[in-house]
Amino acid sequence: MDSEKYFKQIETVEQMAKEECIQILKNNPNGRYIDFDLSINEESDAWQDMSGMFHVEQVNGEDGTIHICAIGVDENDRLVFKAEQYESPYNDGEWFEIYEHYDTRLVYTVAYRCVVNYLQFAKKEPLPKEEE
């Protein structure tokens, strides 16, 4: 018996979901960034929905839960995120990658769901900070 059997399968699925997110956004003719213009009702509603269902726990001394509210693929083809924490921009509103100081269980599976559900809101460039 292999006690890690299902964890290995989850890791495989997560890696596949991450790679597919990157390919979908990288090859999307409308753009690489699902970044919402909150002055547009339809985009604001989608932002609320995504940030409500997509949260990540921080570990390794970091405090609390962050709510992912934007997904993109940067110029180096890395999957990047923007988030809020306690109703304020996380990481000074800058894009970041998910690293080992986050609990990454099902992060990329949920990211895939969000990319597929909200691809129509993709933009060629992320919104400037003052428009977010």
pLDDT in tens, 78-99: 999 998 888 888 888 889 888 7
Ranking 24-38, 42-56, 58-72 by mean pLDDT, the lowest is: 58-72
Domain with 111 in it: 5-131
Cβ proximity of 125 and 28 under 8 Å: no
User: How many domains in the chain?
Assistant: 1
* CA gap 9, 12 in Å, rounded: 5
pTM of the model: 0.85
Mean pLDDT of 121-131: 78
Who wins on pLDDT, 121 or 3? Answer: 121
Q: Is the pLDDT of residue 28 over 70?
A: yes
CA angle centred on 84, ends 117 and 121, rounded to 5°? 30
